[in-house]
Amino acid sequence: MVFWFIVAAMTLGVVVILVYPVFAASIDPASDRASHDVEVYRSQLKELDGDVERGTLSAEEAETARAEIGRRLLRANAAAEAGRTKRAGLPGAGRKSLAAGLAIVLLVPAISLSAYRYFGASGLPDLPLAGRSEPAPRNDNGAPNEIMRLVAGAEERLKTNPEDGQGWNVLAPIYLRMGRSDDAVEAFRNANRLLGPSVSRNAGLGEALAQAADGEVTDEARQYFDRALEEQPDYLPARFFVALDLSQEGKNSEAAEAWASLIEKSPADAPWLAIATQALTDARQKANLPELAEIPQPKPARNLPPEDGSGPSPAPEQIAAASEMNAGERREMIEGMVSQLADRLEAEPNDAQGWQRLIRSYSVLGQDENAARALNTALGVFSDDVEARDQIAALGRSLGIEESE
C-alpha cells in the first residue's frame, strides 16, 4: 500500500511539472535577464579597447578584464539561448492549451500506472550500486568541464551568425590559450574585420600566427605586432614578440637592447620576465657585449597570485580563458611548441626551414647543446643539398653555434 501512495505522489508531481508550462505565461524572467546581460557584457568589451587606447587601463589589466567579461558573456549567451528554445516550445494559450492540460491530467496517470502494472515489478530489490550508471565525466579538478561546453555553444551560435564580431572577439583569446592556434588566427581575423583593428586584437593575431608556426615570429606575425606598437608603444606582450623575432633573426645587438627595454618596463611578476632575462643574457654573449652584464631591474610587482600554488585554485573556465600566465607558464608553452617541432622533424626531416626554426628556438631558450645537436643533425640530413646546407651553416655561425667535426 505504501508503494502505491508513493507512486501516486510521484505521478502528481510529474503532472504538475507537465501542466505548468501549458498554463503559465510564456515570459521567462531569467531569460530576459540573460539577454540583458549579453548586451551589457558586449558593451563592456567594446569599452575596454577604448580604455586601453586612452591609457585609463594598462594592457595587462585590460586582458584580465577581457577574459573575465568573456567568460560571463559565454554564460549569459548560453542562458539566453536556453530561454529562447524554451519559449519556442511553449504551446499557445486558449482552448488548445486547456485541452492539452486536461489531456495531460487524465492520460498521464492512466497510461503510466497501466504500463507499470503490466511491465513493472514492485517487489524486486534495488539494483546493486555497482550496476548503476557511472557519474558524468569530470575534469582533473573534480568539476564538470564547463568551459568546453560553453565554447561549443558559442561556436554553434557563430555558425548561424558568423558576422557576430563580439562572439569572435570572445573566442579568439580562449582558442589561443587552449593551443588551438589555427582557430585563434581565424577568430582574431574575423574580430578585426567585423569590429575593426585594435591593439590587443592585432597583438593577439600576431601571437596566434607565431603559435601556428611552431613558435617562429613570421613576417606576417611581426607586421601585426608592429601595428599594435604603432598604436601603443608600451604594449608589453607585443614588445616581447618583437624582441623574440630579433633573437630568432640573429640580430643579437638589437635583440639585447629590445630585451633590456622590455625588462625595464615590465613589472617584477610579469609572465615573460624569466624568458626575457635568459634571452638578454644569451643575446649579449652572442653580440660580444660582456661589459653590459648587469640585468636591468623591472618595475614593482603587481601583486599577482603566488606562483608556489598557495593561492586559491582558479576555476576551469578561468584557466582556459585567462590572458595572464605565471612566470613559468609562458616558457613552458614555448618549450612545448619547440618539442612538437622537434618531434615533427624527427618524423619528417626533409624540412630545411623547420630545422632553422628549431635551431633558432633552442638558441633563444639558451639550450645550446640542443641547438648544436639540431644544427649538426640538419647538416647531415641535407648533406647532398648544397643550398640548404649552406643556409643552415650560415645560421649556425650567426648564432655562435659550432659545427662538429
Which domains does the chain carry?
A: 2-117 (no CATH), 329-398 (1.25.40)
Model pLDDT, residue 197: 92
How many Å apart are CA 347 and CA 350, to the nearest integer?
9
How many Å apart are CA 254 and CA 277, to the nearest integer?
15
Question: Whole-prediction pTM value?
Answer: 0.49
How many Å apart are CA 65 and CA 108, to the nearest integer?
51
Handedness of CA 195, 196, 197, 198 (dihedral sign): negative
Model pLDDT, residue 175: 87
- The packing angle between helices 386-398 and 368-381, to 10°, is 170
Nearest-10 Cα torsion for 174, 180, 183, 186: 80
Extract the C-alpha cell encoding 107.
492520460
8 A C-beta contact, residue 340 and residue 213: no
| 177, 220, 288, 397 from 231: Cα distances, Å | 24, 17, 34, 36
For 258, the enclosing helix (H) or strand (E) is helix 252-265
Model pLDDT, residue 285: 84
Listed in order, strand segments (DSSP E) in 266-312 are none
8 A C-beta contact, residue 235 and residue 213: no
Q: Cell 539566453, residue?
A: 80
- Of the candidates 400, 382, 1, which has an alpha carbon nearest to the alpha carbon of residue 391? 382
Model pLDDT, residue 92: 46
Handedness of CA 50, 54, 57, 61 (dihedral sign): positive
In b/e form, how buried is each residue of 35-64, taking b as 16+ CB within 10 angstroms?
bebbeebbebbeebbeebeeeebbbbebbb
Which residues of the chain are under the pLDDT cut of 70?
A: 1-36, 38, 40-41, 46, 48-71, 73-74, 76-147, 290-293, 301-334, 405
